[in-house]
Structure 1
Amino acid sequence: MKAAIVTIGDEILIGQIIDTNSGYLAKALDKIGIGVHEMLSISDDKHHILNTLSSLQNKVEVVIITGGLGPTKDDITKKTLCEYTNDTLVSNDEVLTHVTQLIETNFKRPISALNREQALVPSRCEVLFNKVGTAPGMWMEKENTVFISLPGVPYEMKYIIENEVIPRLIAKYKRPYIIHKTLLTYGVGESLLAERIEEWEDNLPEFIKLAYLPSPGRVRLRLSARGTSEEVLQQALTEQIALLKPQIEDCLVGLDEGEPLEVMLGKLLTSHQLTIATAESCTGGKIATVLTAVPGASAYFKGSIVSYATEIKETVLGIPSETIQQHSVVSAEVAREMAQKVQQLLKADFVIATTGNAGPSKGEAEAEVGTVFIGIATPKKVYAEEFNFGQPREKVVDRAVNKGLELIYKEILKNYEK
């Protein structure tokens, strides 16, 4: 079973806003066994919309459209859908009552003519009630395709999807099961990983597909199984993962349940009542930013000292100038000192420290561009490792952040997850 997602709005096409709706919709459909055949972003133009709907007609079973349902003249989706389905707009009493109450209660003013137009819907559509906004969703059927039109405001769209659309799709269609299992690996590149597991991949059952999802310093291996029996799919995935794990044991972090490593790390720290801090130079506080973006991080994150300048490493962290002069500011010795000093200052169980030359030029640093030393302090030891993350600068910083999180995650697993 196939679906298509269409976002309408010039603001997306000119880069003024980022389309987050399509990603959410794709995940929601995938969970109930509906595969997304394509995603499209198109302009607020009647002919463009009509051509798009026509091209998708009978090609997919479901088309979900977001955007263009506001009260202003440039929102033309409803009128265009009426033209496409040979229908007319009529006022829906339930929607009008809801819109009136929202406007009068929240804005303390009478409803305007433009607001009244929000209650206009195609006469033959099934209204998808929007309790959290003024624009209703609409469910229309033409030949073998269902067209679902939703407001573009993310929280309104999500409400209608969860409460109105998904239950209807489940009731209308018999869908296959689609199950994903993702393994998170670190430290081995995509091509090397592919070579290592080539034989295993070649022997996967036909109903299981493997996808490589690389990002700086990490590769996700996503196994997707599709079929009519959930039990058979789950068992097959379990068996294949058991065969795969011994081949990637050195770089495997574990099963990725759709959560970033920083979220997994936060859960691990919380469950063992441990704390973490950072001492950052070349990463400029980015590791701390990633860690504190996780809700509830205050339970385990103690703080960060961004000692970007050499003098701050000396005056704030207390690293002896002799150490820096003898070994260079970009060195394993300095990375170890940074980690240890912050561990003492902030009284944290674990610390990630970074010092390196991210470029773009070598400058006065002795280390080559791309060289990063990552220091790790644990309750039992302090050590540092050297890496060369190449170029450009953004890649060096991102890979240093990911590698630091990976190293500390593995240390906690090694010491606390027996």
Structure 2
Amino acid sequence: MTIGFASAIGSHVGMVRSNNQDSGFAGDRLFLVADGMGGHAGGDVASALTTKTMADIEGQPTGDAVESARALKAGLLDANRMLRSTVKDRPELAGMGTTFTGFLTVGDQLSLAHIGDSRLYLLRNGKMRQVTRDHTFVQRLVDSGRITEEEAKTHPRRSVLMRVLGDVDSSPEIDTEVLDSQVGDVWLLCSDGLCGYVDEPDIEKILRRRTTLEGAVENLIDKSLAAGAPDNVTVVLVEAIPAPIEPDQLPGPRFAGSAASDIPGGEHVSTARNRLLGRRRPPRRVQPVEESHFEPRVDEYLAELIAETRRRNWRRRVLWLVGVIAVLATIAGALFLGYQWTQTRYFVGTDGNSVVIYQGVQQSIGSLDLHSVAEDTDIPIDALDGNERRQIERTLSASSLEEARDIVTRLGVHEDDE
């Protein structure tokens, strides 16, 4: 079945940054998100230049889906060379770079190109999944089993990118893939300003409950703003519909973020509600966003991580051992003090033959008796009358040895008749 694609796009600077380093594009066949890095001086330039360069591909013949994927990759390599050349002309932009995640539609297929940590998600039959894999240091750690997905969300190196376009790598490795689409699919392209601060179940819920694509874009951006939105956030939604859209019904190319800054009317892609929120900053303090940066030295980072892990594990073992020793010492001290207290007590009982004064208490801990013989009175148990004998057999408690002796003295002893 021939299908068409409807789309919506939006971008917001967020609540902390002073400029938008994200860029986005939604055309007739090409859809993309680029997240710039390199600080105020270069991130916005890198993402905008890359977005505008790649937008030109839409009007070029690209063949089938496989050829389109190759065309996207070739375009990104050209954009990378352009960024490096720009830095030569403007040295103050040294170190700038950008992520890129985007696709061209070819019939009922998508030609995908991806580098960095912007993401592509697919909502199909009410279930959302992440399609792309982040090119980040923490993702390497997750893939190698060194940390979990949950640990990756708060890892101190979560902003370290291993692959980007820009003035950092002359031959970046770009992932390409051909994906099948079907009617009802919703494809979400976003910068980490969304997926880094809004949980995936919340994103999925918004997509499932959408009434329009534009409304869903607003809700996704607003959800990020509600979370504090310390980073720029850019969202592109593309939905596969039953029939192709007529050319006169296509909305035309729309830029967002820094790529829209010099296009008259370009900023309309940020919703009125978002612009209002942008002016009315939240009263709570939000954590400053950590700048993403490129780091190709994977082996050195892994070695450093291993060393840190060993130090952390050693500290944990020491703390655990100290804790165990402290607990055992507390228990031993409590047992010792408890035992000492029992030895201040006495009771009068019998060993089965005679009346005996015991030091301690009647109880035992396992095979350990908490009492011992203090004095054997040599008074036969049979010499006591019935009531006193029963009392002695049940034992009589005393708070001191003298009190125990007084109890023995008061016993009525009867001599056997000869």
TM bin (shorter chain): under 0.3
The structure that has the greater radius of gyration is 2
